[in-house]
Structure 1
């Protein structure tokens, strides 16, 4: 089981992106029983490295960060990209920065990124005809010292972006299928497409859409995909390789596992992540924001202080009973508060 997750949020005042490591093993009880559901606030650990984007002509630049990736089973790299398309690689395990490589085309903020096999795939959230899809692959080294060399490769965009009258539309959900041989993406109103990572080919799977919002991950020990429901911010599961007889549409199984994780009414939800820890355990980080309203004599209620925080919750998925029914067990939860934060990632 992984003991740590990596939390990265920007410090808007300083234009930096500090990276912190958080021990999530403390969220889990020693047995597979539910822990106390009471939220506890924890101090943020000190960052062990901070990233800074290049300054623009009249403003501080921005960074976007991509999924964990690497070669073989060791997925210890993350990559950050600035507004000019320059990217750097950071090894989470070794705490080392690798030489920069440049995207063929700069990407927008909050791009879609998927680690499949030994490559990292990055796609603009709103695909367009020119350079929206690329793969970062390791090239064989010709030097005596075996230093991995990474390079970005341009890939064809989804076919629908080339059709007449296409209006840029955000991708609703994505995941990997068949041992990372395929990447599936769903776009509202346009259906689901798959990218063959072996042949670098795209094809349409159907007019249906994946039943998730954002990223879904495959858990081989249960032969299930887990993600967040497309209709609610609820943890759900689905089978993608067993059609229900309606044009290959995936079967949505559980949609009520996340009831205990629902936020207070005053919490404004942001990003949600699903981090696999191994042995059926995973961590669900959710970003929130609260606005403190202040009443004035002339303007009525106005927005006062804004608080940003992330809620980390430990969960275990088990098969129980004679029929092997799935059961979700909630363990501990911790809150971490930030100041002047506008974006965040958890790896």
Structure 2
């Protein structure tokens, strides 16, 4: 059943800190988007924080390193903690696709999922659940959320419903009228996906499949390959609902990449361990055309390393968020452990050493320089925020959850 949470809430003193800062009906202009960070520091689930990012300079990078406290949550929602991979976003909504009975508690209702509208009402509605997503990749196409996992490829439309309550729909379809729907299965395994991007109306996936074991002539002995992998790239047309094989090559990205229209290129983080922390890009036309002649499309490596190079900061994970108009935000989680003068002083005073996780937000714009190379052109600005101590270790072991909505 679709329901809304807004207006006056029942008194629950321990949870008042998680109520919205303003009236639940407050809205802002639709073109005004923000960066939202998700953490599981809420005792019953997850908090959503709205970040105010500084405007990007035309040049002259800024390296502010003072650690700031995160702003208070604008809203929280209930879901099993420690599972950030089940949080998705589409349009103005953040969706928690967790199984409600994740730990076998049959008393927990399983047939719904929370949907938080962060830009309009800042309230919670509930959508159809009863679907388990195993290792999901979430993407959007228009107002629909798409989920590719190890078992299926599905979509959930998130266009506004009217009437708002499912049992009042004129078609009488009830919950069946608004539900996850199956899409054509991909010609590859989810576990083999190395990178993906939305280009026009197509979703492009690159994969690397390990060589199959070889059966020896005795008919009993299997010999594994020597680590050889077979790359391939596929595209799913979201309008025609059809798959197409683009070639025997893979895009050079780690995870999600983004189409930048002004560059006519796909931009993402490099997958090569030797260039970790650098951006790379390849021409969108080359990806669309399959490279030509069976060859992979040409690609370029960004000049600057964007991940922290401070030896006191250990890299934990990173998420690249595209904000439009060539602008990005790289959200990096780093761990600051023992070491340095502060640690020595703490040992002398017999005090516990301070260890913490920090979110390092690097905003920048990308362009081509005079030589045609990909660069941030000195536009990087860095802001550092301490991660609340209530955040679980299980959550922090995965890449940060951040959305531009």
TM-score, normalization by structure 1: 0.77
Match of 1:256 in 2: 303
Match of 1:300 in 2: none
**Alpha-carbon offset, residue 290 of structure 1:** 3.4
SS in 1 for 2:188: helix
2: CA distance between counterparts of 1:317 and 1:334?
18
Match of 2:255 in 1: 214
2:297 corresponds to 1:269: no
Say which of 108, 118, 123 aligns to 2:148. Answer: 123
Match of 2:198 in 1: 176
2:205 corresponds to 1:159: no
User: Aligned in 2, Cα 1:67/1:52: closer, same or farther, shift over 3 Å?
Assistant: closer
Match of 2:113 in 1: 87
Match of 2:213 in 1: none
1: CA distance between counterparts of 2:132 and 2:165?
31
The structure with the largest helix share of the pair is 2
Q: Is residue 281–residue 374 contact of structure 2 (8 Å, CA) maintained in 1?
A: no
User: Aligned in 2, Cα 1:144/1:312: closer, same or farther, shift over 3 Å?
Assistant: closer
**Alpha-carbon offset, residue 27 of structure 1:** 5.4
User: Aligned in 2, Cα 1:184/1:324: closer, same or farther, shift over 3 Å?
Assistant: closer
User: Aligned in 2, Cα 1:325/1:61: closer, same or farther, shift over 3 Å?
Assistant: closer
1: CA distance between counterparts of 2:381 and 2:188?
44
Say which of 125, 128, 136 aligns to 1:98. Answer: 125
Say which of 354, 376, 379 aligns to 1:328. Answer: 376
SS in 2 for 1:292: coil
1: CA distance between counterparts of 2:73 and 2:148?
29
Q: Is residue 319–residue 327 contact of structure 1 (8 Å, CA) maintained in 2?
A: yes
**Alpha-carbon offset, residue 282 of structure 1:** 2.2
Give CA-to-partner distance per residue, 1:136-181, whole Å, 9 cap, x none: 12478574999998531122332234xxxxxx7342111112x1x2
Match of 2:205 in 1: 185
Match of 1:235 in 2: 279
Q: Is residue 65–residue 78 contact of structure 1 (8 Å, CA) maintained in 2?
A: no
2: CA distance between counterparts of 1:265 and 1:219?
32
SS in 2 for 1:253: strand
Listed as ranges, the matches of 1:241-320 within 5 Å are 241-242=285-286, 244-245=291-292, 247-257=294-304, 259-292=305-338, 306-319=355-368
Q: Is residue 48–residue 74 contact of structure 2 (8 Å, CA) maintained in 1?
A: yes
Match of 2:41 in 1: 11
Q: Any stretches of 5+ residues in structure 2 without a counterpart? A: 1-30, 101-109, 170-176, 210-229, 345-352
Give CA-to-partner distance per residue, 1:47-90, whole Å, 9 cap, x none: 01112226xxxxx6846444432xxxxx2122111134742221
1: CA distance between counterparts of 2:291 and 2:321?
28
Q: Is residue 46–residue 77 contact of structure 2 (8 Å, CA) maintained in 1?
A: yes
Match of 1:136 in 2: 156
1: CA distance between counterparts of 2:380 and 2:56?
5
User: Aligned in 2, Cα 1:2/1:34: closer, same or farther, shift over 3 Å?
Assistant: farther
The structure with the largest strand share of the pair is 1
SS in 2 for 1:160: coil
How many aligned residue pairs are there? 309
SS in 2 for 1:156: coil
Match of 1:20 in 2: 49
1: CA distance between counterparts of 2:62 and 2:82?
42
2: CA distance between counterparts of 1:262 and 1:207?
34
Q: Which has more radius of gyration?
A: 2
Q: Is residue 300–residue 374 contact of structure 2 (8 Å, CA) maintained in 1?
A: no
**Alpha-carbon offset, residue 113 of structure 1:** 0.9
- Tell me the C-alpha RMSD between the 2 structures: 3.3
SS in 1 for 2:132: coil
2: CA distance between counterparts of 1:22 and 1:144?
30
User: Aligned in 2, Cα 1:264/1:108: closer, same or farther, shift over 3 Å?
Assistant: farther
Q: Is residue 40–residue 82 contact of structure 2 (8 Å, CA) maintained in 1?
A: no
**Alpha-carbon offset, residue 305 of structure 1:** 6.1
Q: Is residue 64–residue 81 contact of structure 1 (8 Å, CA) maintained in 2?
A: no
1: CA distance between counterparts of 2:87 and 2:99?
14
Match of 1:346 in 2: 402
2: CA distance between counterparts of 1:53 and 1:67?
13
1: CA distance between counterparts of 2:372 and 2:248?
32
